[in-house]
Amino acid sequence: MAEYQVHQLKNGIRLVHQQLSDASNGHVAHLGLIIDTGSRDELPHQNGLAHFIEHVIFKGTERRKAYHILSRLEDIGGELNAFTSKEETVIEAAFLAQHYARTLELFADIVFHSVFPEKELKKEQEVVIDEINAYKDTPSEQIFDDFDCLLFPDHPLGKNILGTKKLVKSFNRDAVIQFIKQSYTTDKMVISSVGSIDFPKLVKLFERYFGEEAANLSHTKREPINGYIPVEQVKKRRLFQSHCMIGNRAYGMKDDKRTAFSLLNNFLGGPGLNSRLNLAIREKYGFTYNLESNYTAFSDIGNFSIYIGTDKNYLDRSIELVHKELKLLRDKKLGPLQLKKAKLQFSGQIAISEESNAVKMHNNGRSLLSYGRISTLSEVHQKIQKVSAEDIIDVANEIFDPTQMSMLIFK
């Protein structure tokens, strides 16, 4: 596998490429346009607009109608998709590697030449409202967003990415164009590629389709994080099972404690069936099928949460057992063997995830946007190996502090 290669245009748009040398892996390429803007960058009256634009950006350009956009890659067996997060908007594609030119040209047309016909916007409003309704019918998803509201009250990070029905109905072409103008700036864009194309050839295509755009630099700053007071809240719902979130604010992307806490979170309630929470609650008592802990690092803050989905008769006991495990991690350092196993498991999971070229593409682009460089897998493993038992108990006492924990229950 070749090292990462980076090229920056005069207008500020960057390209990162990881070339596939193995022919068995190189037939399919993955390309993503990652923009450093998401729901966090919306003003109060714009809540949901970043996600709405992700939908309507495929609805027509100066030279293509919606059908031609959707067919451009699908006609050659490729896939075109997009998604929005709190701090990013991503347009992505998977395609046979001989179609790089076709894909890059389509990306540039979509991002810089979409026309957003009012008729299409009206239709897509109904689609997004239907998405909001579907989300409200799924309490195991809704509780995550409602919990964000507790952790980040009166802040854009606490707002639902989808927005509200009322606001979605208010969005028009002028609102869409204004948001793109303020947020889709060239210095916040990265094209990330994983495929078998030679880098010089890719750079020529990149220059051809993205080099003519004028520089458009960002002049806005994200709203700083506000104060936090822990909250416990119960919402009555008509449900077959109870849902619970327990958590706290955590470390941002550039915090030195991020690696230690990522390791601890994985040990506590990661995807492994041997996680502490799974063994202590599901395996020992059979109280719950859905049980996990999650840690998301944003640019300047993080979000830690434990999710429990269980029968209402087991809810109180499950919560009690969660707090018992958190206390153990605050009070007792991991032994050498426990720490070694935790590191091996976490490193292995990361390595396996990197087997996906789509994951590589996303991670490389995000890393370049956030840090200005890409950490190699070897560097990531070295950081994990440097974490000590003292580091683990330090972050456990800071983030698992019971006086700082919020809780939200649907029952």
- The pLDDT profile of the chain, 411 residues, written as one tens digit per residue, is 458 999 999 999 999 999 987 655 668 999 999 999 999 999 999 999 999 999 999 999 999 999 999 999 999 999 999 999 999 999 999 999 999 999 999 999 999 999 999 999 999 999 999 999 998 899 999 999 999 999 999 999 999 999 999 999 999 999 999 999 999 999 999 999 999 999 999 999 999 999 999 999 988 889 999 999 999 999 998 888 999 999 999 999 999 999 999 999 999 999 988 999 999 999 999 999 899 999 999 999 999 999 999 999 999 999 999 999 999 999 999 999 999 999 999 999 999 998 999 999 999 999 999 999 998 889 999 999 999 999 999 999 999 999 999 999 999
Domains of the chain and CATH, by start: 4-210 (3.30.830.10), 232-410 (3.30.830.10)
231: number of Cβ within 10 Å: 14
CA diameter of the chain: 64
Nearest to 346 by CA among 281, 279, 261: 261
Cα–Cα dist 44/46, whole Å: 5
Q: Which amino acid is at 232?
A: E
Cα–Cα dist 93/104, whole Å: 10
The pLDDT, as a whole number, for residue 124 is: 96
Q: Which two tokens stand for residue 182?
A: 């303020």
The pLDDT, as a whole number, for residue 1 is: 43
Strand-pair category, 28-35 with 89-96: antiparallel
